[in-house]
């Protein structure tokens, strides 16, 4: 048998986790990424990695790089809060402290995670390679073609090219991704003495959700890292973490500094039609316009956002399809199961796919099965849980533009019920304990 060669399209969360795992196991792999540099084109600032995501990273990354991933996470949130748009606390739940590197929830800068995943992969990742199409050959091999006229052939082609996947469009043209009818606008605010004072203490130490009338919503994350504005270690950091960060080359490419991240969303029909083309100051003005009755501190945080960090996202979701015939082309992550941020499991599910596919391809490399059997076994497991996560992410309150929360009159009642639910849950100890348990248990499920 000749050695297996795997081609991955897309150097995102799932593609790079898979590539790290294959390289670690000695399987030949090449990743082709359309962006020209390792810092280009990343949208979004914070991602929550749950025990399943941690497990996938632990299995795929070399041990020291996994430790670097843990050392470069932001400090974990201590509270989960629900705030009104008037900055009153509807409910505040203290989260269980957990420092376990794997069995815990981690708050991660998306840019830092990207740099971790690219570490040690210069010989594997080819930047500036925009995939256009592929050809499947009779001997089972696959050739990928790129916009610059080049091509690459392998035994398995993995579509890790995200929501707009070109591989999926050619391979499974009936697989649709549809708009949910919700648009989000996100930005970063530098942490200063002034911006720090704008959030209540529990909100600064935690994750907070603001449910407001007319289906308007905002999520607030505070991200504090072990390095300072100039990229040098904070004086409180020492020991192993200090060593890991100091010898990690990824920080050179990582512009992540302490920040408050807000993500404002509402039904698409509440925004002007050209919102997805807006950027920077124009988007900030729009959020300020849509939150005229919000607390001045929240508005100051909208105002204080770095305009260069402000971007709109059209929230989309995959339409599940029945299983398909296995070939040497397969898909992972958003390329096959794009989901709303409702449960915060898009990246975690991409990492889970990467771990599973990696195990299967390593078995094929070892001669325990054929590449086709490996892809078949992966898809048999991935398709049911992938589409299940799509469905339950969509089922979250307010996730679709046609949800009652977005309707004029019913929406007020749903908002009142949502607030009453959180208030009661926070007040009744048994409900409170269950809520805190469920908050993490769900996201770690199916590990
Ligand atoms: C703002 C925001 C916040 C989020 N927060 C969370 C969260 O808290 N928790 C969570 O679990 N998930 C979260 N997600 C979802 C999560 O980021 C995605 O589900 C996850 O990144 C999917 O990984 P992926 O590898 O499938 O795709 P991606 O990470 O999107 O990677 C796809 C890669 O393919 C490349 N590519 C695309 N087309 C081509 C082409 N033609 N040729 C070559 N390369 C190509 C892209 O440039 C990109 O690098 C969030 C998403 C966004 C946008």
Query: Where residue 303 sits, what CATH number does that domain have?
Result: 3.50.50.60
176 CB within 6 A, ligand 1: no
Q: What is the CA radius of gyration of the chain?
A: 22
Dist. CA 366–CA 25, nearest whole Å = 10
Reported as type and span, the H/E element at residue 315 is strand 311-318
| Mean pLDDT value across residues 9-17 | 98
**Could you report the per-residue pLDDT of 293-331, keeping only the tens digit for each?**
999 999 999 999 999 999 999 999 999 999 999 999 999
What pLDDT shows up at residue 439?
Answer: 77
Distance CA(342)–CA(399), nearest Å, equals 6
Q: Find the 338 Cα to ligand 1 centroid distance in Å.
A: 9
Q: What are the E-state strand segments in 110-148?
A: 125-126, 131-136, 142-146
Q: What is the mean pLDDT of the chain?
A: 94
| pLDDT digit string, tens, across residues 377-432 | 999 999 999 999 999 899 876 777 778 888 888 888 989 999 999 999 999 999 99
Is the CB of residue 312 below 6 angstroms from any atom belonging to ligand 1? no
Cβ atoms of 102 and 54 within 8 Å: the answer is yes
32 lines ligand 1 (CB under 6 A): yes
Domain tally, the chain: 1
- Helix or strand holding residue 157 (H, E): strand 156-159
Return the beta strands (E) in 367-428 as ranges: none
pLDDT of residue 443: 55
Token output for 366: 């070892």
Share of the chain above pLDDT 90, in %: 83
Closest CA to 375 of 340, 336, 346, 318: 336
pLDDT of residue 447: 45
Q: 263: part of which helix (H) or strand (E)?
A: strand 259-267
Q: What is residue 330's predicted lDDT score, i.e. its pLDDT?
A: 98
Reported as a single tens digit per residue, the pLDDT across 197-253 is 999 999 999 999 999 999 999 999 999 999 998 889 999 999 999 999 999 999 989
Cα 142 from chain centre: 29
Q: For residue 170, what are the β-bridge partners?
A: none
Q: Whole domain around residue 181: which residue ranges?
A: 5-443
pTM: 0.95
Q: Count of residues for the chain? A: 447
């Amino acid at each position: 048998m000749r050695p297996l060669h795997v081609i991955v399209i897309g150097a995102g969360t799932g593609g790079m986790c898979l590539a790290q795992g294959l390289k670690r196991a000695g399987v030949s792999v090449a990743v082709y990424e359309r962006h020209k540099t390792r810092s280009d084109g990343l949208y979004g600032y914070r991602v929550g990695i749950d025990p399943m995501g941690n497990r996938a990273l632990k299995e795929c990354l070399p041990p020291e790089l996994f430790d670097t991933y843990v050392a470069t996470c932001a400090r974990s949130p201590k509270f989960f809060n629900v705030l009104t748009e008037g900055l009153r606390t509807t409910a505040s739940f203290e989260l269980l402290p957990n420092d376990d590197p794997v069995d815990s929830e981690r708050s991660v800068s998306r840019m830092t995670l990207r740099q971790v995943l690219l570490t040690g992969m210069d010989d594997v990742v080819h930047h500036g390679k925009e995939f256009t199409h592929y050809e499947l050959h009779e001997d089972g091999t696959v050739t990928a073609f790129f916009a610059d006229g080049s091509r690459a052939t392998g035994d398995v082609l993995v579509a890790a090219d995200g929501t707009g996947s070109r591989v999926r469009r050619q391979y499974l043209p009936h697989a649709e991704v549809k708009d949910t009818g919700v648009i989000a606008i996100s930005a970063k605010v530098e942490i200063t003495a002034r911006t720090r004072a704008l959030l209540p203490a529990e909100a600064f130490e935690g994750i907070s959700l603001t449910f407001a009338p007319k289906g308007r919503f905002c999520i607030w994350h505070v991200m504090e890292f072990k390095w300072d504005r100039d990229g040098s270690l904070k004086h409180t950091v020492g020991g192993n973490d200090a060593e890991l960060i100091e010898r990690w080359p990824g920080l050179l490419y990582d512009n992540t500094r302490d920040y408050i991240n807000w993500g404002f969303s509402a039904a698409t029909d509440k925004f002007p039609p050209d919102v997805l083309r807006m950027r920077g100051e124009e988007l900030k003005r729009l959020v300020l316009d849509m939150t005229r009755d919000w607390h001045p501190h929240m508005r100051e945080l909208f105002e204080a956002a770095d305009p260069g960090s402000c971007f709109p996202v059209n929230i989309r979701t995959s339409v599940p399809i029945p299983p398909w015939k296995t070939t040497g082309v397969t898909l992972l992550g958003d390329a096959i199961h794009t989901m709303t941020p409702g449960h915060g499991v898009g990246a975690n599910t991409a990492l889970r796919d990467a771990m599973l596919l990696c195990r299967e391809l390593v078995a094929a490399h070892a001669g325990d099965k054929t590449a086709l059997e490996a892809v078949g076994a992966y898809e048999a497991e991935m398709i049911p849980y992938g589409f299940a996560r799509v469905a339950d992410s969509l089922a979250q309150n307010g996730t679709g533009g046609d949800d009652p929360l977005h309707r004029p009159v019913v929406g007020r009642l749903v908002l009142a019920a949502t607030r009453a639910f959180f208030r009661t849950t926070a007040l009744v100890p048994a409900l409170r304990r269950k809520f805190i348990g469920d908050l993490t248990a769900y996201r770690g499920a199916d590990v």
